[in-house]
Amino acid sequence: MSKYLSPAAIIAMVVWLAFWSWYLSGEYLTVYGRSLQQAPVFRLQHGQLKYTGQEVFSFKPSTAIPQLNPEHHQLLNSVSRYLRTHPNLYLRLKGLCASFEMNGTSYDDLGLARAEALKGLLVAAGAPPRRILSEAEQFDNLISVEGQLHGAVLFSFSENGWEKPVSFKSFIANQEQARYTLHFPEGRYELQETAEKATPLLDSLIVFVGRRPKSKVLITGFSNSQEEEKTPYNLAELRARAVRQYLLTHGLDRKRVDMRFVLHESNSTDYSKVELKIKE
């Protein structure tokens, strides 16, 4: 058959077969992003906190478990101490993941799972959990070194949180009837744990808002004092962020979604919830 093919066609076929063999072998992941022989430089500087060295946090593809060594723990302890001694400071952790990675975590986004994994390590080292803010973003140019992804969590400091919690009295004074309410079991924040089926409710909200170009969604996460005492995380924030992440990944523009969270003094499970309302 080859006598009917031009040399250029034969070369193209060989290249095509080589590419797919390389892709299916897993080498695609290494070259799709930037591939280096050693970890890139990682810098973290803010005030008296200064660190410069090789990138210290890496992840295996499609996982959210950071690879650690003694140098990592030293940095975590330094960052935690810096947050404790600067009570007006917030640390933002942005977790990144590539579009071709699989998310097998309980989070809606692999990048958020990576950021939360580092947040958990910082909290274990003594950092105040309410001043560590985590978010996620898709980024298809992660750096790969010997099968490990580097640069998957970005650090930055800020004097402002996402939105400071409002007092319950202030919230009640301005409360309007919520259009949607999602209840969570005590101590849980994942959407699949809601008493209602969250997906149909949120999908209908997306359609409703999509037909009203000037409308916005206000998400308010709640938690009660009893469940907050049992976990190092801000459940009110995590519940609101889980709903926000679903809305964003299913088509709503970031500018049309506002978020806040309320820490209620009561131990009533009535406040293990997220409320959503439409602002015209």
Supply the CATH number for residue 71's domain.
3.30.1330.60
| Mean local confidence (pLDDT), 29-44 | 54
| 159-171 pLDDT, tens digit each | 866 555 555 445 4
| Integer angstrom CA distances of residue 82 from 45, 50, 135, 153 | 11, 11, 21, 19
Angle in degrees, 0-180, between the axes of helices 70-84 and 110-124, rounded to the nearest 10: 80
Predicted pLDDT of residue 161: 60
Predicted pLDDT of residue 20: 47
Question: Is position 23 within any domain?
Answer: no
Residues 143 and 182 in one domain: no
Q: Which residue has the higher pLDDT, 52 or 222?
A: 222
Predicted pLDDT of residue 88: 87
* Pairing of β 143-145 and β 148-150: antiparallel
**What token pair was written down for 125?**
């080292």
Residues 225/264, Cβ–Cβ less than 8 Å: yes
| Mean local confidence (pLDDT), 14-27 | 48
Question: Is position 34 within any domain?
Answer: no
Residues 140 and 184 in one domain: no
Question: Is position 173 within any domain?
Answer: yes
pTM, full prediction? 0.51
Closest CA to 219 of 182, 190, 268: 182
| 95-143 pLDDT, tens digit each | 888 888 898 888 878 988 999 999 989 988 899 888 888 888 877 777 8
Question: Is position 6 within any domain?
Answer: no
Residues 215 and 132 in one domain: no
Predicted pLDDT of residue 158: 82
Total domains in the chain come to 2
pLDDT tier for residue 9 given thresholds of 50, 70 and 90:
low
pLDDT tier for residue 31 given thresholds of 50, 70 and 90:
very low
**Where in the sequence is the domain holding 152, given as residue range(s)?**
41-158
Backbone phi, psi, residue 48, to 5°: -85, -10
Q: How far apart are the C-alpha atoms of 36 and 34, rounded to whole Å?
A: 7
Residues 81 and 142 in one domain: yes
Predicted pLDDT of residue 28: 36
| Mean local confidence (pLDDT), 205-230 | 84
Residues 146 and 174 in one domain: no
Task: Name every residue whose Cβ is closer than 8 Å to that of residue 153 and which is 6 or more positions away in sequence.
Answer: 57, 66, 93, 94, 95, 96, 114, 115, 118
**What token pair was written down for 4?**
């009917």
- Last residue of some domain: 158, 188, 223? 158
- Last residue of some domain: 130, 158, 186? 158
Closest CA to 103 of 239, 256, 14, 95: 95
- pLDDT surpassing 80 at residue 58: yes
88-112 burial by CB neighbour count: b if 16+ within 10 A, else e?
A: ebbbbbbbbbbeebebebebbbbbb
Predicted pLDDT of residue 114: 93
Residues 219 and 253 in one domain: yes
Question: Is position 3 within any domain?
Answer: no
Residues 177 and 271 in one domain: yes
* Pairing of β 132-138 and β 90-97: parallel
Residues 184 and 149 in one domain: no
| 134-159 pLDDT, tens digit each | 888 877 777 888 788 888 888 888 88
Question: Is position 29 within any domain?
Answer: no
Residues 146 and 61 in one domain: yes
Residues 255 and 152 in one domain: no
- Last residue of some domain: 158, 178, 203? 158
Predicted pLDDT of residue 226: 81
Residues 125 and 65 in one domain: yes
Q: What is the DSSP letter of 194?
A: S
Question: Is position 21 within any domain?
Answer: no
Question: Is position 66 within any domain?
Answer: yes
* Element spanning 75, H or E: helix 70-84
Residues 148 and 184 in one domain: no
